[in-house]
Each structure stands twice: as structure tokens, then as C-alpha cells.
């Protein structure tokens, strides 16, 4: 049955972080959320902010673009005021998407696991995992009626070629989501992750040896896998942002063509 493209997220106010390029998962989520009736805000920071402001114009409706560095306490503290600038005083959020990750490709990825320096590892864990807690904490005062926090992971239950310390950071992200689900549950805030298969985003292209990962899906994903199509992942995220899963939290939903369930 076809989705009613005017009802899934009607009336929802959603913040989508980490929208950098129109091939990014965050962009796909923002686009599908708008198609489903949501009011969307997107964010980025630093030099990427100008790129995000240009990319925003390619969405069905140009959303407000907020400057937000999730490692900067002052940015996090100012977030409610920035949201209020666009949605009105006392504005609330119904959903937050964590589409943020970073690991220095020169020191942490592409077969450099044994040599990864702690300073770079610490940065990867802070940006890719701790930031989920930081972002949820900053948004919590605006989610007065409960809501949904959804993050993006890449299955951290196994060791992957080339992924190295980012795999460790994703494992930390997955654990962080479970603890957030525990602690935010009394506020009726659900916390879930979507584990997508490899997608040819700007971030993925920066991973040395990422092609080796991509090739695994060619023969082992029973449903097949289009590495250029972010919409299946966006649909899963938006379903978790909606009211369709009112009693689901601490979950990881795989959107990978079934790859994760297959053996050798």
C-alpha cells in the first residue's frame, strides 16, 4: 500500500543535523520528512555551514539552517533560542536526527587501526558517539511532549575492512543510544538507531578502501542494495520519528538489503 505523503509526520517539528551535501543521508531524511508533512530545520557549522545553506535550497521547501557544533557547549546551550528564532518563543521539537560522525581518514581509517593515535580516537568518539548524548540533552527541554531521537550507525557488532576506529566509535554510539533510551524513557522520548548499508556519501568517499566494503553487498544482500539511494534509509528514520513506533526504544533497525542476517 502506498504511503500517504501528507500524513506520516504532519505537524511534527524535526531537527536534522549534519546535512552537508545532497547525497548525504541527512539530506535524504530532511527531504522525505518534508514530503511527509514535517516542519524541518537543518544544521551544520564552520566552513560546511555555507555549503549547507546552498544545499538547503534543493529541498522541497528551503528550511532554516542553524549553526550547531555538537562539540561546542555554547552552541548546545544556545540551541533552544536558535530554534525559537524560527519556530517561535517556547517552540517544541518532536524529533531529532543525529547524522554526525567523523574520524580522521589519514590516521584512523583504511587499515590504520594499530597505529591510531589517542587524540584522534578521542575526537572520533566525541564527535560520533558522545555527541548523541550532548545533542539529546540540548534538545530535551524542547521535547516537552516526548518525541523521538534517531541516529545513524554502521553495524558495530563485527569488524569491517577499512572502517577501523570508526567501527569502535559506532560501537560507542550504539551503547550510548541504549543508555539514552533508558534515561529519557520517563520523558516519553524514544531513542533508536538505523543501521544503513554502505552509501556513497561525501563522508564515505573519504574512507580509504571503502570500495572493499561496498563490494560485499553485491553478492550478499538478498534484497539487493543501491549504494546511491538514500531514500530507504530516510524512510526508516522518518518512520521512527513518526507515531508508528510508540513503544520502541533502544532499538537498531537495519536498512541494508538484509545483509546483516546472512552468513558467508
| CATH code of 167's domain | 3.40.50.720
230 part of a folded domain: yes
6 part of a folded domain: no
pTM (two decimals): 0.94
1 part of a folded domain: no
**What total number of domains does the chain contain?**
1
Q: What is the pLDDT of residue 5?
A: 47
7 part of a folded domain: no
Closest-CA residue to 198 (of 245, 255, 236, 126): 255
33 part of a folded domain: yes
Q: At 92, is the secondary structure helix, strand, or coil? A: coil
- Catalytic residues, by residue number, are 163, 170
Q: Are 197 and 209 in contact (CB under 8 A)?
A: no
Cα separations in angstroms, 61 against 15, 30, 56, 219 = 14, 10, 8, 38
Question: What is the helix (H) or strand (E) element at residue 77, kind and residue range?
Answer: helix 73-87
DSSP states of 17-45 as a string?
E---STTSHHHHHHHHHHHTT-EEEEEE-
Q: What is the pLDDT of residue 3?
A: 46
Q: How far is 205 from 109, CA to CA, in rounded Å?
A: 12
264 part of a folded domain: no
Range of the domain at 248: 13-258
Q: What is the pLDDT of residue 210?
A: 74
151 part of a folded domain: yes
Q: What is the pLDDT of residue 263?
A: 87
Q: What is the pLDDT of residue 211?
A: 77
Q: List, run by run, the mean pLDDT of 10-residue segments along the chain (264 residues).
A: 65 96 95 98 95 96 98 97 95 97 94 96 98 98 97 96 95 98 98 94 71 84 94 98 98 97 87
Strands of the sheet with 13-17, listed across from one edge: 65-67, 39-44, 13-17, 95-98, 147-153, 189-196, 252-255
173 part of a folded domain: yes
Amino acid at each position: 500500500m502506498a504511503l500517504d505523503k501528507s500524513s506520516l509526520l504532519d505537524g511534527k517539528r524535526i531537527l536534522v543535523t549534519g546535512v552537508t551535501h545532497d547525497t548525504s543521508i541527512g539530506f535524504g531524511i530532511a527531504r522525505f520528512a518534508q514530503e511527509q508533512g514535517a516542519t524541518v530545520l537543518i544544521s551544520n557549522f564552520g566552513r560546511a555551514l555555507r555549503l549547507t545553506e546552498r544545499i538547503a535550497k534543493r529541498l522541497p521547501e528551503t528550511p532554516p539552517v542553524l549553526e550547531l557544533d555538537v562539540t561546542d557547549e555554547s552552541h548546545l546551550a544556545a540551541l533552544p533560542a536558535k530554534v525559537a528564532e524560527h519556530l517561535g518563543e517556547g517552540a517544541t521539537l518532536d524529533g531529532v536526527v543525529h547524522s554526525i560522525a567523523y574520524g580522521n581518514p589519514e590516521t584512523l581509517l583504511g587499515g590504520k587501526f594499530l597505529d591510531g593515535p589517542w587524540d584522534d580516537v578521542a575526537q572520533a568518539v566525541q564527535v560520533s558517539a558522545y555527541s548523541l548524548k550532548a545533542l539529546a540533552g540540548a534538545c530535551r527541554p524542547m521535547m516537552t511532549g516526548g518525541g523521538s531521537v534517531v541516529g545513524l550507525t554502521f553495524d558495530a557488532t563485527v569488524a569491517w575492512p577499512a572502517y577501523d576506529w570508526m567501527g569502535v566509535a559506532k560501537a560507542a554510539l550504539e551503547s550510548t543510544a541504549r543508555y539514552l533510551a533508558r534515561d529519557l524513557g520517563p520523558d516519553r522520548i524514544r531513542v533508536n538507531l538505523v543501521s544503513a548499508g554502505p552509501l556513497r556519501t561525501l563522508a564515505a568517499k573519504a574512507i580509504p578502501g571503502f570500495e572493499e566494503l561496498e563490494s560485499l553487498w553485491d553478492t550478499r544482500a538478498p534484497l539487493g542494495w543501491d549504494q546511491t539511494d538514500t531514500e530507504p534509509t530516510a524512510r526508516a528514520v522518518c518512520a521512527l520519528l513518526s507515531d508508528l513506533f510508540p513503544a520502541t526504544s533502544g532499538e537498531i533497525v537495519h536498512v541494508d538489503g538484509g545483509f546483516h542476517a546472512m552468513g558467508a
